[in-house]
Structure 1
Amino acid sequence: MHFLYPYFLWALAALAIPVIIHLFYFRRFKKVYFTNVRFLKEIKEETSSRNKLKNLLILLARLLAVAALVLAFAQPFIPKGETLKSGINNVSVFVDNSYSMTATRQDIPLLDYAKDKARAVIGAYGEDDKFQVLTHDFEGRHQRWLSKEDALSYIDEIQLTPVVQSLDKVVNRQHQLFESTEGNRLSYLISDFQKSIMPSEGWKDTTMEMSLLPIQSKQQKNISVDSVWFDGPVPFLQQNNKLVIRIRNNSGEDAEQVKISLHRDGQEKPVGVRDVPAGGTVTDTVSVTIEKTGWQEAVINISDYPIQFDDNYYISFLVPDTIKVLMINDGGEVRHLDALFRGLKNFSMTSQNVNQLQYQQFPAYDLIILNDLNTLTSGLSTEISQFVRNGGKVLVFPGQNADLNNYNHFLSLAGAVPFDNANKNPREVAAINTDEYVFSEVYVRTSQNLKLPKVQLSYNVRSSGSHAGESLLSFRDGDPFLSKYRSGDGQLYVCASPLNPDVNDLVFNAEIFVPMIFKIAISATKQKKISHTITNNVIVETDNLRKAGDYVYKVKNDRMEFIPGQIPNGNKITLDLDNQIKTAGFYDLLLDDQLAGKLAFNYDRRESDMSVYEESQLIHITAANSKVKVMGETLQANIEGSIIEKDQGIVLWKWFVILALIFLLAETILIRFFKS
């Protein structure tokens, strides 16, 4: 047996007090006058021995009562082989308040169970100990020590959150606060321990003692809208835009007849009814025909119960009013391109001479065409390559007398393969890459009747593996006629022949020329995000539309409005929304109180996977680390007692208090009922 406060044992000297009382109180004699004492002799001999026994029993009861009280204050315990804790306890309690905790057990949400367990953990420690209450929100006020009363108040305030942190980040957060203080370091993680948030390699920190309290229910079915995207770089007006929807079954049972629908412009469009295999996914496609330009909103919905936070998926996207094209020429052929763009709705083409360019206007265009230029100045090469890297698209038709040194300098800046030499032999295009976006889904089939371009002049392309682009059209000998290169955030298209119809009949091949120019113009250099995931550190990148002045972006919906952090970077701007977004849905992006964009936010789909590590699995995972213990349902039934026993062994002070009361009661009985 050990003592938590052994210095209290000095109080055993108080045992001398009842002995002294016994010696001096019970030996006092009282004089009683009798006229005749011959009848008392026999009684005196009998009662003297009874009084002596009574007094000794009273003395023994008092000694045992005092000794029991002293031992109780010394807090005796029987150690259980672990390191015993003394001094201040620094207790950090993590309560999982993610959406997976909406699952129920006996019709009570798991979050309510978790909060009750957290209160019991804190109740097991003293008023002088320090506490931290931590949730997935990672708020600044959670990163400080609290009193016992304040910690219990914090637990009452815990609400569900869309933010999800992995448990290794939670432990790191606890460790950061532990570093600022001395004393016992005790970590408690109260969670359903989803597999999606568990650390892949377990916990290696041995500076604090961790206790895992699994709060779990019977695994429930959950079907979720996993992700949504357009099957194409950009949705376009009056086009058959394919929207791809992925549905995931996060349970171990097959899901039948899952209804999928699309909500847009106040109308619901049924997508289909699908069966989803256990633990698997299905992908469905819906055609979206857009009737108007500007920002669009849509919601993909499924019918599922009881877990519904992931049944809706919000998307927003921009349908441009006009595709702006700049053609740079030096007296070359323009009438065919001009006629083409005049025949396309929502297209606007501007033609400028190479000697009259205004470089600062380049970012306003979606596509720049270099039309049969013989010479590229160093300034133009630099500006065009910068335009591509910033996300623009450039289509190059070299001139008939192109200065290959100038062109190769530009191509090297843009990361493309340089030209080798002019080839004046007639050549014919023989292959179309229908797997790439420009020519995908253009032809039902590429028959032999399809007329392909023929050229009288072309430029050979050097063979290079390091800058190899993607060939869209190829000559019979395999050399590229039209190549695509990615440079930075943009795209560079290079034709190996001038556009001039004297040496290239491409403009007369409408089956090739029209879809080629059209799809290059509408293609997106970079797939723009149509949705964002809610975290505690949301970052959004968008086009920088700010002009001179103090205008700032604002984020607003019908319940809130705030100004995010703003970091401009050229023609882009990064918005730091921090942890302001808490609810999935649509938010307006305003600049000078004018609509600059629409943002769609969805809850983190990691919470959709309801598979968890059960108690036996947690014990196996943590077996290698002696500092990590699992408190299962048996120990959770009496958390306070389990914690006290864990920290101090088998505690005996309560038993000694009871013994002290028993001995005091025995003394009272002896005094009142033991007759002399």
Structure 2
Amino acid sequence: MNFLYPGFLFALLAIAIPIVIHLFNFRKFKKVYFSNVQFLKEAKEQNSSRDKLQHLLVLACRILAVMFLVFAFARPYIPLETGADPDKGNLISVYIDNSYSMETVNKEGNLLDEAKRKAKEIANAYQLNDQFQLLTNDFEGKHQRKLNKEAFIQMLEELKISPASRTMQQVVNRLQQEGDSRKNHLVYLLSDFQQNFVGTEKIKSDSSIRYSFISLKANALPNIAVDSVWSLSPVHQPKQAEQLVVQLHNYGAEDAADIPLKLTINQQQKAISNLNVPAGKSVKDTLSFGGLEKGWQKGVLSIKDFPITFDDELNFSFRVNSEMKVLTISGDPTQQFLKSLFAADPYFKLREMAEANINYSTFPEYSLIVLNGLKQPSSGLAQQLKSYVQNGGSLVIFPDLDAGAAVYTPFLTALSLPVVQELKTGKPVSSSIELKDPLFKDVFDQIPANMDLPIVNRYFSYLERNTAGKESILQLPLSQSLFARYPAGAGKIYLSASTLRPEDGNLSRHPVFVPLLFKVAFSSAKEQPMYYTAGKDDLLEQQKTSVSANQSLVLKSTDGTEIIPEIRQTPGKTLLYIADQLKKPGFYDLKRTDSVLAVLAFNDNRRESDMRYARDQNLKDLFAGQQISVHNSEKDALSLNIEAKNSSIELWKLCLILAVVFLAIEILLIRFFNKTKNIQKP
């Protein structure tokens, strides 16, 4: 047993007071005349022994009363195995889960309101000189402060539901960072403890912190969420047909029938559908629409599902472009294959340059550059093309076989491509096609048994020193590639082994040539993600955007909220760091001065949609070997185990009670002991 205020033990010297009173009894004796001395002597002997016993008992009660009264002021306690030191004071950190799932209800009402009531009860169970700290999913700076009890309760009143979603490991890490080694750190976590929040990985935490989990139980509720969306259209063109794939997920335990799904683009309804979603399953549906104009499109997919509604809408955005710029650099102006190909679709804006008259400064304007039969590709051109590809551009190379290996090997080496080994000529060789490549997705309705494939009779064989990242699209025998893709920085390079001239093969006249080049061009389009997740995606990738010294990029929502991101330039991309500034879902315009560069869509985190909860044993397993206690919210916070509350067993109340008890015993001894007189009659 230890004492919180051992200095009060000096007051034990007060025990001397009843002892002195016992030793020096200053009561005056009264003379009583008695007729028979023999009888008097007998009575005196009998009453003297009883008086001594009474005095000793009274003395003992007085000593014990004084001693326990002094102990009560010295605050005795029995320290527990937690290692907490009451001399250091307490820092009580309370985490309240204020995610969307805490909007659900039980018999006590809203889960968040119940958590706030429990937090108040916890605070009232501690001393006035203890410090408190409130943590929520927002991880705001004000939650780093240490508060007194009154300020802590005031901050609880201001707590509201937030779209931010965290994991338990993130919460534990944050609590450890905000701890104070000079105080006993006690942590309470009040949550519904969804499985997505708790996770499955072991929690890493400071063993000196004692954790108490107060689990808030919600009623089982059905929930259907608009889970995700993606586009089947390779590019978005004005007035063209569009297809979106929508996925709904049923997180409930019962099947859902005839869920109405609506698609709106720029606040105009474009498509509707009804879906049946089995319990615990996902269902996909394809929505077709058209009639879009040039520019940024703001789309919303919505369903009607009660009572959980935060995941009933999914925002997304994309851009409809009226054209795609393609550049061809040719060493033989007589070849018209590429011009005829791209002229067939008005979406492509083709510009041709001769090998002798190349304007390097215009390269960043084009999504795709095609080199066709260059006679003397220079090292300067190679350096410019390398920079173009590193910044996200796409490059296609059809070599000139007559130029030879001596000309093309340095050029290809500068682009980090395989070098020319030799020129192969002779009998026509048939190729094979990699049908699983994304370029051929949706190209073939069905695959014929004997497919007609391109053949070549002259081609370069390349010496592959490093095949990492290489993807063969059209292959020749002996593991040689006819048309292959190589990653390069943020872009891609497509290298052909043969030319487009008819005397070298039939690639330029083969039916596969048109979808091959079109798909290469479409895949070169720089598309941003259709949507981001608020509170989770803090790094946004955008097309290369130049910003002068006196300019800045701003994200601005329709309600006037402005966010200034941190800008970092990387090859081919501009990275925007928004940290935890963006909290609300919706549409945000990315602006540079007054011009809108992009429209970004943000949604709430769908992790909160899954209403499955972790069991108490799951929490104990995740904190295996650490000091934790798990409590049900149905218990009053004041009645929680005292070890979880104060990290010690305090005895001052018991000492005070014992002091009163011994004083009462003293009174009873004085009043009722030795009242019967022993007098013998003659």
Asked if 1:653 is matched to 2:652, the reply is: yes
SS class of match (2:530):
coil
**Equivalent in the alignment of 1:439:** 440
SS class of match (1:206):
coil
Asked if 1:566 is matched to 2:567, the reply is: yes
Deviation at 1:116, TM superposition (A): 2.0
**CA 1:339/1:84 → structure 2, altered by over 3 Å: closer, same or farther?**
closer
Structure 2's unaligned 5+ residue stretches are 35-42, 676-682
Deviation at 1:290, TM superposition (A): 5.4
SS class of match (1:207):
coil
Deviation at 1:125, TM superposition (A): 2.2
- Whether the aligned pair in 2 keeps the contact of 1:92 and 1:186 (CA below 8 Å) is yes
Mean Cα displacement is larger for which, 391-400 or 232-241?
Answer: 232-241
Structure 1's unaligned 5+ residue stretches are 31-36, 39-44
Determine the C-alpha separation between the residues in 1 that align with 2:194 and 2:458.
64
Which one-letter code corresponds to 2:529 in the other structure?
Answer: K
Determine the C-alpha separation between the residues in 2 that align with 1:367 and 1:283.
33
Determine the C-alpha separation between the residues in 2 that align with 1:524 and 1:613.
45
SS class of match (2:620):
helix
Structure 1 residues 187-208: Cα deviation after superposition (integer angstroms, max 9, x where no partner) = 2222222222325013453132
Determine the C-alpha separation between the residues in 2 that align with 1:407 and 1:414.
11
Asked if 1:74 is matched to 2:74, the reply is: yes
SS class of match (2:569):
strand
**CA 1:235/1:225 → structure 2, altered by over 3 Å: closer, same or farther?**
same
Task: Count residues with an aligned counterpart.
Answer: 658
- Whether the aligned pair in 2 keeps the contact of 1:91 and 1:131 (CA below 8 Å) is yes
Determine the C-alpha separation between the residues in 1 that align with 2:259 and 2:405.
60
- Whether the aligned pair in 2 keeps the contact of 1:537 and 1:576 (CA below 8 Å) is no
SS class of match (1:631):
strand
Asked if 1:466 is matched to 2:467, the reply is: yes
Asked if 1:402 is matched to 2:420, the reply is: no
**Equivalent in the alignment of 1:639:** 638
**CA 1:548/1:405 → structure 2, altered by over 3 Å: closer, same or farther?**
farther
**CA 1:172/1:350 → structure 2, altered by over 3 Å: closer, same or farther?**
same
How is 1:385-396 mapped onto 2 (pairs within 5 angstroms)? 385-396=386-397
How is 1:206-217 mapped onto 2 (pairs within 5 angstroms)? 206-217=207-218
**Equivalent in the alignment of 1:123:** 124
SS class of match (1:245):
strand
Determine the C-alpha separation between the residues in 2 that align with 1:245 and 1:131.
46
Determine the C-alpha separation between the residues in 2 that align with 1:337 and 1:516.
12
Determine the C-alpha separation between the residues in 2 that align with 1:656 and 1:668.
19
Asked if 1:152 is matched to 2:171, the reply is: no
**Equivalent in the alignment of 2:288:** 287
**CA 1:151/1:529 → structure 2, altered by over 3 Å: closer, same or farther?**
same
Which one-letter code corresponds to 1:354 in the other structure?
Answer: E
- Whether the aligned pair in 1 keeps the contact of 2:172 and 2:205 (CA below 8 Å) is no
Deviation at 1:378, TM superposition (A): 0.8
Structure 1 residues 391-434: Cα deviation after superposition (integer angstroms, max 9, x where no partner) = 11112121242342343334344454444333343536554444
Deviation at 1:608, TM superposition (A): 2.1
Mean Cα displacement is larger for which, 209-218 or 406-415?
Answer: 406-415
**CA 1:554/1:117 → structure 2, altered by over 3 Å: closer, same or farther?**
same
**Equivalent in the alignment of 1:627:** 627
**Equivalent in the alignment of 2:38:** none
Mean Cα displacement is larger for which, 260-269 or 596-605?
Answer: 260-269
Determine the C-alpha separation between the residues in 1 that align with 2:570 and 2:232.
29
How is 1:87-486 mapped onto 2 (pairs within 5 angstroms)? 87=87, 88-106=89-107, 108-178=109-179, 180-198=180-198, 200-203=201-204, 205-231=206-232, 233-270=234-271, 272-289=273-290, 291-425=292-426, 427=428, 429=430, 431-445=432-446, 453=454, 455=456, 457-462=458-463, 466-467=467-468, 469-474=470-475, 479-486=480-487
Mean Cα displacement is larger for which, 207-216 or 592-601?
Answer: 207-216
**CA 1:593/1:627 → structure 2, altered by over 3 Å: closer, same or farther?**
same
SS class of match (1:578):
coil
**Equivalent in the alignment of 2:512:** 512
Determine the C-alpha separation between the residues in 2 that align with 1:468 and 1:534.
33
SS class of match (1:263):
strand
Deviation at 1:86, TM superposition (A): 1.5
Structure 1 residues 583-633: Cα deviation after superposition (integer angstroms, max 9, x where no partner) = 1111111111111100111122222222222224333444x3142222334
Asked if 1:546 is matched to 2:550, the reply is: no
- Whether the aligned pair in 2 keeps the contact of 1:326 and 1:365 (CA below 8 Å) is yes
**CA 1:154/1:464 → structure 2, altered by over 3 Å: closer, same or farther?**
same
Deviation at 1:26, TM superposition (A): 8.1
Deviation at 1:325, TM superposition (A): 0.8
**CA 1:256/1:12 → structure 2, altered by over 3 Å: closer, same or farther?**
farther
Determine the C-alpha separation between the residues in 2 that align with 1:514 and 1:641.
74
Structure 1 residues 373-403: Cα deviation after superposition (integer angstroms, max 9, x where no partner) = 1221111112212222221111212124234
Determine the C-alpha separation between the residues in 1 that align with 2:235 and 2:279.
33
Deviation at 1:16, TM superposition (A): 4.8
Which one-letter code corresponds to 2:553 in the other structure?
Answer: Y
**CA 1:2/1:121 → structure 2, altered by over 3 Å: closer, same or farther?**
same
Deviation at 1:365, TM superposition (A): 0.5
Deviation at 1:491, TM superposition (A): 2.0
Deviation at 1:370, TM superposition (A): 0.6
Question: RMSD across aligned C-alpha pairs, in angstroms?
Answer: 4.0
**CA 1:429/1:332 → structure 2, altered by over 3 Å: closer, same or farther?**
farther
Deviation at 1:126, TM superposition (A): 1.9
SS class of match (1:261):
strand
Determine the C-alpha separation between the residues in 2 that align with 1:453 and 1:77.
89
Determine the C-alpha separation between the residues in 2 that align with 1:349 and 1:81.
78
SS class of match (1:221):
coil
- Whether the aligned pair in 2 keeps the contact of 1:214 and 1:614 (CA below 8 Å) is no
Which one-letter code corresponds to 1:183 in the other structure?
Answer: K
- Whether the aligned pair in 1 keeps the contact of 2:237 and 2:322 (CA below 8 Å) is no
**CA 1:325/1:567 → structure 2, altered by over 3 Å: closer, same or farther?**
same
- Whether the aligned pair in 1 keeps the contact of 2:485 and 2:495 (CA below 8 Å) is yes
Mean Cα displacement is larger for which, 311-320 or 215-224?
Answer: 215-224
**CA 1:362/1:18 → structure 2, altered by over 3 Å: closer, same or farther?**
same
Structure 1 residues 265-315: Cα deviation after superposition (integer angstroms, max 9, x where no partner) = 323355543333443323333234352222111122233222222222211
SS class of match (2:436):
coil
- Whether the aligned pair in 2 keeps the contact of 1:416 and 1:468 (CA below 8 Å) is no
Structure 1 residues 153-173: Cα deviation after superposition (integer angstroms, max 9, x where no partner) = 232222222222222222222
Deviation at 1:233, TM superposition (A): 4.8
Determine the C-alpha separation between the residues in 1 that align with 2:633 and 2:448.
70
Determine the C-alpha separation between the residues in 2 that align with 1:436 and 1:381.
27
SS class of match (1:401):
helix
Mean Cα displacement is larger for which, 655-664 or 159-168?
Answer: 655-664
Determine the C-alpha separation between the residues in 2 that align with 1:82 and 1:134.
23
Deviation at 1:660, TM superposition (A): 5.4
Which one-letter code corresponds to 1:364 in the other structure?
Answer: E
Structure 1 residues 95-129: Cα deviation after superposition (integer angstroms, max 9, x where no partner) = 21222222211262212222222222222222222
Determine the C-alpha separation between the residues in 1 that align with 2:636 and 2:585.
37
Deviation at 1:368, TM superposition (A): 0.5
Determine the C-alpha separation between the residues in 2 that align with 1:516 and 1:239.
21
Which one-letter code corresponds to 1:355 in the other structure?
Answer: A
Mean Cα displacement is larger for which, 192-201 or 551-560?
Answer: 192-201
- Whether the aligned pair in 2 keeps the contact of 1:138 and 1:536 (CA below 8 Å) is no
Determine the C-alpha separation between the residues in 1 that align with 2:186 and 2:223.
35
Determine the C-alpha separation between the residues in 1 that align with 2:142 and 2:492.
47
